[in-house]
Amino acid sequence: MATAQNPAAPTVRRGVQPLRAGEGWSFIWRKLHSLLGIIPLGAFLLEHLLSNFEALKGPAAYGEQVRFLNSLPMVRVLEWVFIFLPLLYHACYGVWIWLRGKSNIVYYPWAGNWLYVAQRYTGLIAFAYIAQHVIRQRFMGIALPEHPYAAFAKVQQELANPWMLAVYIVAMIAICWHFSYGVWLFAAKWGITPGTKARKRFGYVCVALGLALAILGLVSMWAFVGPDYKNAPENPAVSLVVAPAAAGTVLI
């Protein structure tokens, strides 16, 4: 008697796997990873870009913004709970997802494959930049929480190095790309944009968002490297008070 043979298992082509729910605990970890990328990290990115935009008003205005942020109640607790710890988890789990993911842009140069690779590399660039930026601006040199009006001069001195300026520009573009595409992924994974048409239309919105944020960040950099505020004093607030006194103005 002939025996029935099991059909051969279908061959799965390599490439970016479709959006799917995670299995076991990975479902929760992936959801948390996606959520933290938008709230609070995305919200912090928007706030940071808007705060940096104050630099266009001059060193004193930028210093006042830094002073205001550092005067918020329980600001150090807020930093760790809503910035540092979420950032560490999002970055570390993102690297774990990357190491377990599959992409082959050589044999399968699909748009999804390219987006997958770009998202991972821009994430690495963003994390490396943020780590060095926090160390250099927060824990090296003059302490900005105690001397907020020195913030403009500190950033200006750092961007005076052409190599560091190039790092800032590349990192700004990478961060804005990573966030805007992350918003698209968030909407797709959380069921906000069901269907191909909805995702395609929302993709145009995310592209516009990424371009707007990148332009906002790059324009803010111009305040530090442009001719309007060259050689900014380390304490512009004191300079504004001393100058009228030297001219004979009576200060009350």
Domain 25-246 has CATH 2.40.10.10: no
How far out from the chain centre does Cα 68 lie? 21
- Which pLDDT score, from 0 to 100, does residue 114 have? 82
- Which pLDDT score, from 0 to 100, does residue 4 have? 52
SS3 state of residue 238: helix
> What residue ranges do the domains of the chain occupy?
25-246
* Distance separating alpha carbons of residues 100 and 97, to the nearest angstrom: 5
Q: Which residues contact 59 (CB under 8 A, 6 or more apart)?
A: 149, 152, 153, 229, 232, 233, 236
- Which pLDDT score, from 0 to 100, does residue 113 have? 76
Give the pLDDT of the chain (252 residues) as one tens digit per residue.
455 555 555 554 444 455 454 556 778 888 899 999 999 999 999 999 999 999 999 999 999 999 999 999 999 999 999 999 999 999 999 888 888 766 665 545 567 778 888 888 999 999 999 999 989 888 888 888 889 999 999 999 999 999 999 999 999 999 999 999 999 999 998 989 988 899 999 999 999 999 999 999 999 999 999 988 887 777 765 544 444 444 443 333
- Which pLDDT score, from 0 to 100, does residue 44 have? 93
Global pTM value: 0.79
- Which pLDDT score, from 0 to 100, does residue 195 have? 86
Tokens of 237: 């607030």
- Which pLDDT score, from 0 to 100, does residue 45 have? 94
Tokens of 204: 């145009």
* Distance separating alpha carbons of residues 185 and 126, to the nearest angstrom: 17
